[in-house]
Every structure is written in C-alpha cells, then in structure tokens.
Structure 1
Amino acid sequence: MSSLDVPSNGPGPQLQRQATNVSRRFDGGLSHFAELVQSISNQDAEARYKEEEADNRIPTDDDVPGSNESQENDGKTIISWEPNDKENPYNWPQWRKTLIVITSMMTVANSTMGSSLPSMAIPYMMAEWGVTAQIQSVLPISTYLMGYVFGPMIWGPMSEYVGRRNLSTASFLMFIIWTMACALAPNWPAMLVFRFFCGVCASAPIAVVTGILADIFNDPITRGRAMAWFMATTVFGPLLAPIISGFCSTSIGWRWTFWVGLMFAGATLVLALFLPETYAPVLLTKRAVKIRKADPKAQVYSAWELEANDFKQLFTRVLTRPIRMILTELIVTATCLYLSLVYAIFYMSFQAFPIIFSNVYGLSPGITGLCYLPVGAGAVLAVPIFFAYDRVLLNAKARGSAWAQKEEFRRVPLATLGGPLFVISLFWLGWSSRPGVPFVVPMLAGIPFGGGFMLIFMALLNYITDAYEIFAASANAAASSCRSVFAVVLPLATKPMFARLGIDGACSLLGGLSLLMCVIPFIFIWKGEEIRARSKFCIALKERKAEMERRAAEQQRRRARDAAANGALEKETEV
C-alpha cells in the first residue's frame, strides 16, 4: 500500500461524515437565517400596514361591522384620517407641497455640495499644514463620504420611527456647526475628523427626502417627477463646489471655501426651520395628544402610539431594515452595485479632472472647476427626457398598451438610455484627453456623462421607491450607504490608476466596468416581475397591501350601503 492509499476503515469515511455534518449544519444555519429574515420582514410589513390601516380608518377583522371607529379591547379609540382630511399630507395644497420640495432640494444641495467643497482647495490646505503624502490628498472628500456610509443607515429607518421634521432639522443644524468647524480647523487631523461628522449629518437629506416625497405624493407619476428635480439637485451640488473652492483658494484663501458654503447653509436653514412634519403616524399622534390635552378623560390614541416602540423593535426591525434589504433583496443588491460604481466614478472625476485639465492642458484651479459645467448641462438635459418619457408612458396607458401596465416600464427604460451614454462619455473623455486635442473636446464629454448619470439615478431610485413603497427611505438608505462605500474606496486608487494606465487606459477600464453594469436595467425589464414575485420583502408588502386594499374596498361598499339605507329611511320618514 502506497503512502497515498487510505484504508476503507480509516479516517476517510469519518472525515466525509464530519464534512457532511458541517455542510448540513451550514445549510441549516442558512435556512434558519433565511427564515429569521422572512419572519422579521413579515412582522415589519404587518406592523407598518396595520398603522396604515388604522391611519386611514380601514377596519380590521376585529372591528365591529358598520363602525367607523377602531376600538381597542380596553376602550381606547384609535383615530385616523377622515376622507379628504385637510391635515393628511396627501391632501395638502399644491403650493405647500411645492415649498416642501424646494426646501428638500435646498438641503440636499447643501449636502452634496459639501461633499466636494474642498476639492480644489486641498493642495492649499496640505501646503499650509505641511502634508506631503499624495495619498492623503483624497482624504478630505473620502472622510466626508465615510459619513455618508454610516449616516443613512441611521437616518433613513429612524425617520420611519420618529418622523421626518425633527430629525431633518436637527441633523441640518449639526451639519452647519461641523461646516463652521472645518472653516476654523487648526490642523490636518482635526479637518478630517470635522469632515467625517459633517458627512454623517449631511447624509440625512439623502436618506430622508425620498421618504418625505412618498409622504406627500400618493400618485407615483407626481412623486416620480418630484424625484427627478430632487436628483437634479444632487448632481448640481458637487459640480458647483469645485468652482467655489477653485476661485476662493487662489484669491481670498481656502478657508473661505467653507465660509461660502456656510453662508449657503444659513440661507437654507431659514427654509428648513419651516419644514412641516409629513410622516402620517406622527401627525396623527399629535392630533391624539391635542385631543387628550383638551379632554383628559378621552382615551384617544394613534395606532403608532399603541405600537411596542421598545429598543428591541428599534434594533431588530428598524435599524436592520436597510441591511436586510441589501442582503436579501436582489433588486436592492443589483441597484446598489450599479449605482455604487456610477457614483464612485462621479467622485473619481474630482481627482481625474485636475489630472486632465490642469496637468495636460495647464488650466488654473478656477478654470478647471468650470470644466464641470458640461456635466451639469447634461444633468439638466436629462430632466426633459424624463418628463417626455412620462408623457409617452401616460399616452400608452390611456391607449391600454400592455407594456405600459408593467411596473418595470414606469422608470427603468430611462436607465437603458443613461447606461450607454455614461459608457460613451468615459471612452470619449479618455481617448480625447491629449495635448494635440483642444481641451473643449474632452470637456464636452461631460454632457453625456451628466445625462447618463442622471438618467441612471432617476430611473433606479424611483424604481426601488415604487417597489418598496412605505419602506422607501430604508431602501434608499441602503443604496446611499453602499454607493458611499465605493465612493470612499475607489477615489483612493484614482491617481495611482491614472499614473499607471494613463488617462486613456484608466477611463477605458472604468468604461468597461460601466458597460458590464449597464445590463442590469435590461435584466430588470426582462425578469423584474419574476424577481419581485420571489422577493421575501416584496411578498410581505404585497400581501399586506392587498389585504388593506380589500378592507378599504369593503369599507367603501359598506358606507355606500349605509348611505343608501339612510336615504331610503329619510324618504320613508318624509312620506
């Protein structure tokens, strides 16, 4: 017997049995984890839709037939929205909704502008504090984006737990304080710490605004159009910042970059202080508290007040919701991957543009900042494309076209246009950036870059908002955190990659990766309905929503019968 032979009664079968047992335990562990996630998702959806039912006075199976009030066993009355209730955010006047959208856009503009605010000022900051390691030049932006990683995981689900207004106002005030700290930073390490906390607070609007829009717009078409303007603002913030820092740093000093940002934040604060609460459970709770204050004997409560809002629920359901979505929801996972790459490339441009336009063409920091304007022009051009597709979709629905009835065709086709545009822009930028070619040529690549970026984001963020409805803030928080991780890591490799591969090679690599990712929207259109049908979270949401709609229809029929009966009784009385 050779040294490689193993007797049949030796350790071989034993090892196989051990391996089998380990495999079974591993499979069992995965199965248990999947069941746990499914259970939490079901509980999450059930609890939230119970609140929706109570908020909209939809009777549950335990309610007394014919009663318009929901009563608990201990005599507590659960208040809800009346039909056409003026305090229901869905019924607010259009001017008020428009003001909320504008305020939200302004807060988001501050947030995204802050991300790239020091981009052209970094060399001057490093020179003042004697920082020589070039790898550290990306840290003022990366530490800010690290705050984007952690912040949304808290702000998004917390806004679905405590409401929108107080969280938005408090986080914006803290953002202003940390921006002022950056302007007064005494040294490089302090600057990086201040930038991190600035990013944490600035990430709140990114996660919360989508929830606010879902609070005030019940119609997906109207909500989608508001999202389009919101997304346009997220692009323009980072594009204006290099212009500010480029001209301030070379004239009045790099600290004025932050002072200018602080002035803009102060002007926005005036609007933000008047931002109303839009989260229905909080508004109904305030109404119940007001009733109890007027009549201490009244046992009137909102459904939200009677929920078990303990720490266990906060941790197991609320704060883990974005993580559960990333790990178990294929739509969220794929969307996060695609948006993360596109977002990271966008922030890599703040390292790449100085390499291209300052090093190759010798432009000053201020003029290099102006090279971002075509990106903004492309983003602006994407907005009318979005609205034009909206009209096409509405006309197709009016004609009864089968394709227009499918969920995936509401927004996703815009990404099938934006993806190729984004890929083309990267190859255009890379292969035209050379001394023999005027700088205007690579600069104009910013138009398809900005247009593609906007269309991808508008399409996919609207898609997950529509797919996950009442948990839109959590779904967007998951997407925001994931893309921020990429935006922190990949820019660290920008300068080494461009140095090693050259401008054409680096842009071609990024273009190739984007080409691979741009198939995701096509897969959504092809198999999106099947993916949602197998989604544990979507199944839970769909079941609860269908049940709520069934009860709402039953209640409407009951009211119609009661009205008809009352009318007949009145006629008999008159006779």
Structure 2
Amino acid sequence: MADPEAARGLQPLQEVPTRLSRHSSTGAPMRREGTSSRLSNIIRTISNQDAESRYRTEGADNRVQPSDGLPCGSIRDTTDRKIVSWEPNDKENPYNWSNRRRLFINITCMATVANSTMGSSLPSMAVPYMTQEWGVTSSTQKVLPISTYLIGYVFGPLLWGPLSEHIGRRNLTVAALSLFTLWTLGCALSPNWSAFLVFRFLSGTFGSAPLAIVTGQLADIYDDPVARGRALSYYFATTVGGPLLAPIIAGFCSTTIGWRWTFWVALIYAGATLIPVVLFLPETYAPVLLTRRARKLRKADTTTQAYAAFELEDKDIKQVITKVLTRPIRMILTETIVTATCLYLALVYAIFYISFGAFPIVFQDLYGLSPGVTGLLFLPIFGGVLIALGVFFAWEGFLRKSRERNRPWTMKEEYRRVPLAAIGGPIFAVSLFWLGFSAKKDVHYAVPSLAGIAFGMGFQLIFVGMLNYLTDAYEIFAASANAAASSARSFLAVVLPLATTPMFAQLGINGALGLLGGLSLLLSGIPFIFLWKGERIRAGSAFCIALKERKLEMQKGAEKEMKKSSGAATAGNDSQEEKEAV
C-alpha cells in the first residue's frame, strides 16, 4: 500500500483544493472586486488548479513503490487501485531510451519542422509571377500568401500544443503532417487567387503543429537540461533554416520552370518526411505510454485494478475546454515569464518575416538583382545562425565547468539560458541599423547583405535563450508554453508585414529599418530583467511553484526509497550472519 501522502495525492482531481489559490474551494473570490479583477482571479484559479493537478499526476507517474507482484512500478490509491508508474531505469521510460533512438526522433522532428517553416516563406519570390497570372495588383494583396499562412500559425498552436498534452504526440503529428501535405498539393493546383489563399491558411494551421509539439517531444525524451538544450538548439536552427531555404527554391523555380513547381518541390519533401513519421516515429509522452502499459496489464489479467494516473484525470468536455485548450491563453495572461517572452519574440519574429518583403525592396528595387540572386542573399542569415550555434555550445561548456567549480551564479535558473538572449538582443538590433544605413547605390550590395550574419546570429541567440528558458521553466507544460509563444509571435508576424511596403515607401529604407532597430533595442532589455528579477518572477508563478513542490516531493520519495533499500539490505546481511553463526 502507498504511504498516506501518496494516497492523498491521488484523490480524484476535482476533489483536491489547490493550495496555491487565494479563493474558496468553489473558485469564488473571497472579497468583492471589480469585473476585470474577478475575471483575472478566475483565470488564475483555473491555472493554479490546472498546474497542481497535472504536476500531481506527473509525480504519480514517477513514484517508485513496491510493485506487489505487478511487472512494473505501482502504488495504490484510496480505492485500492494500483497506479502504474515507472521503475528505476525502466527501458520503456523515454528518458532511458537509447541515444540512437533519440537521435532518430530528433532528426525526424527536425524534418517535420523544416516542412512547416519552409512553407511559411515559400511564395516570397514567386508572388510577382502568381499575381501576374491571376491579375492581382494591390500591394496589400501581394502580402497575403505569407500572411494567411501565418494566420494559421496563430490559431494552430493553441489547438495542437495542449491537445498533445492530452492525447499524446504521435497521432497528432501524423494527422497534422498528412493534412499539411494535402493542402500543399492544393496550393500547387489552385485554380485562382482565392482558392490559393484558403489552401495557404489550411497549410499554416496544420503546418504549425510541429512548432507546438516538437518542443514537448524533446522535453519528453531528454531529462538532462544540457542534452535537451542542445536538441532544442538544432530545433531553433531548423526553424530559421526552413524560411531561408524557401526563397531560394521559389526564386529559381519561378523564373525557370514556373511558380507552381515551388509547391511541387515542397510537396515532394513533405511526402518524403511523412513516410518515417507514419512508419517509425514512436509516442514519447510518458502519461500516454503508462496508460498503454496499464491497459495491457488489465487485458492480461481482468481482475487487476491497474491504472495510470493519467487515466484517472477528469477528461470530460468541460475539462478539455476550460483547462486543456485554454492553457496557452491563460499562460499568456497570468504568467509574467510567458507574457514578456511572447512580447519580445513576437517583435523579433515579425521583423524576420518583414525581411522577406524588405530584401526585394533593397536588393531588387535598389540594386536591380534578380529574384534568384536575391534569394541567395538570405544565406548570410543562415551563416549567422551557425555561428550562434557555436556560441551556444561554447556557453554550455563554460557553464558546465563553472558548475563543477561550484560557482554561486550557476545555481540561478536564469543564468543557464537567458545570457544567450542578452547577448543576441543588441546584435540583432545592430544588424538592422547596419542594413538600413549601408543600403545605398554607391555602396556595393555585399556590404548590406553581410548584415545578415549579425541578423541571423542575434535572431538565433534570442530564440535559443528565451525558448530554452521557457521549456526549462515549465517542463511538462513546455508544449503549451511554446504554443503560447508561437501564437503570439505569429500574430504580430501577420500584422506587421502588411505594413512593409507602405512603411518603406513613407520612411525609406534607412528610416524603416532604423525604426525596427530602435524597437528591437528597446525590448532587448527583457532578458536583462529576467537575469535581475527572474527568481522573484518565478516565485509568483502558479506553474513554477507547483513544479518546485513536485521536485521536492520526488526528492523526498527517492530518499525514502534509498533508506528502505538500505534498511532491507542491512536486515538481509544480519539474517545471513545469524544463519552462518548457527
């Protein structure tokens, strides 16, 4: 039987009042407040209960108790049901999978991400040719092929992220990638402008799934923050590399074999990616894996009352709507870390997509280069991304050595990732000033194009630092936290590019890029605020408090198990000595 603390922790979720809430058990405020304050309190209460209930389930998954004859770790709840959990060094636990298997998951996930991100900027160099075919002349209309895709990025992650934490990662990935492939085919065969925009929106909606799910998958298989950070750095490099490759494909296809071949190439790649995903990609979400284990046990022995803690959660439609699907929105509204991160990344991401409209203005209109050559000038940005990866690995090595020397600053959570964003922010702002004030007819186009190196380096460091911090801070809610960040930045990336042409027409190249550089420099202070006050901010977070409590409980449980094992071993030795003495 489980100890009283464990049994208490596995009560039906709706019966366990949150210790974090300042409300009554019914969720009503304990004092009269205004409407907006009351709404804020309701949202915070739901977040508190959501965080505590999921961390409680996660804790049950990782408790290790005597198995009572079951071929897996288990504990008992108050109704005498056996709660299936992981054993020590359990081979089915994703944290214990082989490096080879995790490498395959990594590569497959990066391939799915490349589908999504490449699709976002795929029409950039093909727009003049498709608008000519369909007679579209409005400058606002010409931005829509990218903007409608990014509208899908706004709404898609709000669905995919939390659902992946409710029903698992694999099935959603297979379904979303399959439909993404279908909508890409629709883009290639579109009969008119309106149909094309509809297919672009659908492509963005289903293509956004990897952006929300992959970070969760990596958190599922890497328990070590260093290994997880490295995997995420490759993920971020892929999110940048995809959009930079697409203009090159579009630029050369559109001018030679036709703009529709831009999407045929994307379709071929999507189909090739879909094969390993459907055939070999495993489920990585531990609660789903434990649920499958419990069902196998019940199928093998119908008298066995074995359940995964995840199965005992309340999963009615009210639970799904109020807690699961609203989780990313609630995190934006109530979690300061998520709110500030979303604000900063939204601006940086929007500027990244503005560049797909700004580069033709600078290098085609000003310097008279062809679409294909203009596409190639995105390569310095990817060069900066690769340099940023080198900086990231150098920082990881420095951090590891500092920890071995027990430097006090290494004990602070924020110093693990955020310094990278603090370095990248000013570099990103400088790159915009560089591009804006060096783009002149009497200056060779190589000079402003080299600003792409600083642009890519700063962009990558900001994303690696901020999103790694987000993933480390929220762990099992990493998919929802990243879904919130993805939706917020995609929203601004939809709106700001619509103003690209008017902004450059009114302010000129120097003024437009100077304005964007100034805004970037202003928000680059957010990582420094996290370094300064991050610990205090996390202390007020419902999710972070629950995570800290769960870790303390698991640590106590592990210590208790070690004492039991040590006591049993001592008793066994004493008994053996007595037998030998007799």
1:71 aligned to 65, 68, 76, which one? 76
Deviations 1:319-342 (A, max 9, x none): 111111101111111110110000
2:223 is the alignment partner of 1:207: no
* 1:421 aligned residue: 427
Indicate the SS of the match to 1:369: helix
Q: Residue 19 of structure 2 corresponds to which residue in structure 1?
A: none
Does the 8 Å contact 2:55/2:546 carry over to 1?
A: no
Tell me the SS of whatever aligns to 1:355: helix
**Deviation string for 1:302-329 (max 9, x for gaps)?**
1111221111111111111111110111
| Residue 108 of structure 2: aligned partner | 103
Which of residues 214, 225, 229 in structure 2 aligns to 1:224? 229
2:160 to 136, 150, 155: 155
Match of 1:385 in 2: 391
Q: 1:453 aligns with which of 453, 459, 473?
A: 459
What is the TM-score with the length of structure 1 in the denominator? 0.92
Pair 117,527 (structure 1): closer, same or farther in 2 beyond 3 Å: same
1:537 aligns with 2:543: yes
* Distance in 2, Cα, partners of 1:425 & 1:32: 44
Structure 1 distance, partners of 2:532, 2:492, is: 27
1:316 and 2:322 aligned:
yes
Question: Which runs of 5 or more structure 2 residues have no equivalent in the other structure?
Answer: 1-29
Measure, in 2, the Cα distance between the counterparts of 1:44 and 1:533. 17
Change (3 A) 1:563 1:310: farther
Task: Say whether 1:239 aligns with 2:251.
Answer: no
User: C-alpha separation between the residues in 2 aligned to 1:525 and 1:32?
Assistant: 32
Kept in 2, the 8 Å contact 1:59–1:552? The answer is no
Q: Is the 8 A contact 1:217 1:223 kept in 2?
A: yes
How far does the alpha carbon of each residue in 1:243-301 deviate from its partner, in whole angstroms, 9 at most, with x for none?
Answer: 00011011111100000001111111122121100000111111112222222332222
1:336 paired to 2:362: no
Instruction: Tell me: CA distance 1:426–1:68, structure 2 relative to 1, closer, same or farther (3 Å).
Output: closer
Query: Cα deviation per residue 1:521-553 (whole Å; 9 max; x = unaligned)?
Result: 111111111111122332233223323332332
SS of structure 2 residue aligned to 1:69 = strand
Question: Residue in 2 aligned with 1:120?
Answer: 125
Is 1:189 the counterpart of 2:194 in the alignment? Answer: yes
CA distance in 2, matches of 1:571, 1:311: 61
After TM superposition, the structure 1 stretch with the greater mean CA deviation from structure 2, 444-453 or 75-84, is 75-84
Structure 2 match to 1:6: none
Indicate the SS of the match to 2:304.
Answer: coil
Amino acid at match of 1:219: D
Residue aligned with 1:382, SS? helix
| Deviation by residue 1:328-374 (Cα, 9 ceiling, x = unmatched) | 11111111011000000000000000001000111111111001000
Question: What amino acid is the match of 1:485?
Answer: F
1:30: how far off? 4.2
Assess, with a 3 A threshold, how the Cα gap between structure 1 residues 254 and 25 changes in structure 2: closer, same or farther.
farther
Alpha-carbon separation, structure 1, partners of 2:55 and 2:334: 21
Pick one of 555, 559, 562 that aligns with 1:549. Answer: 555
For the 8 Å contact 1:59–1:551, the answer to whether it is kept is no
- Is the Cα contact below 8 Å between 1:112 and 1:237 reproduced in 2? yes
Following superposition of structure 1 onto structure 2, how do residues 109-508 of structure 1 map, counting pairs within 5 Å?
109-273=114-278, 274-508=280-514
1:36 Cα offset (Å): 2.5
Give the RMSD, CA atoms, in angstroms.
1.8
Where does residue 3 of structure 1 map in the other structure? none
Cα distance between partner residues in 2 of 1:452 and 1:421: 5
TM-score by length of 2: 0.91
The range that moved more, 561-570 or 527-536, is: 561-570
Counterpart of 2:500, as a letter, is: T
Letter in 2 for 1:479: A
Distance (whole Å) between structure 2 residues aligned to residue 560 and residue 159 of structure 1 = 40
CA distance in 2, matches of 1:143, 1:135: 12
**What per-residue deviation string (whole Å, max 9, x for no partner) do you get for residues 104-124 of structure 1?**
111001100000001111111
- Given residue 543 of structure 2, which amino acid in structure 1 is its aligned partner? F
Larger radius of gyration, structure 1 or 2?
Answer: 1
SS in 2 for 1:305: helix
Percent identical among aligned pairs is 63
One-letter code aligned to 2:473: A
CA contact (8 A) 1:119 1:242 kept: yes
Aligned in 2, Cα 1:574/1:180: closer, same or farther, shift over 3 Å? farther
2:59 equivalent in structure 1: 53
Matched with 2:565 is 559
Q: Deviations over 1:139-189 (max 9, x none)?
A: 000000000000001100110000000111110111100000100111101
Equivalent-residue separation in structure 2 for 1:68 and 1:242 (angstroms)? 52
CA distance, structure 2, for counterparts of residue 521 and residue 329 of structure 1: 16
The runs of 5 or more residues in structure 1 that have no matched partner are: 1-23
Shift of the 40–573 alpha-carbon distance from structure 1 to 2, 3 Å rule, reads farther
CA contact (8 A) 1:45 1:544 kept: no
| Matched-pair contact (CA < 8 Å) for 1:58–1:548 | no
Matched, 1:521 2:527: yes
Return the alpha-carbon distance in structure 2 between the equivalents of residues 324 and 307 of structure 1. 20
Q: 1:85 to 1:335 in 2, by over 3 A?
A: same
Letter of the structure 2 residue corresponding to residue 277 of structure 1? E
Report deviation, 1:416: 1.3
Q: Which amino acid aligns with 1:533?
A: A
Q: Which moved more, 1:153-162 or 1:284-293?
A: 284-293
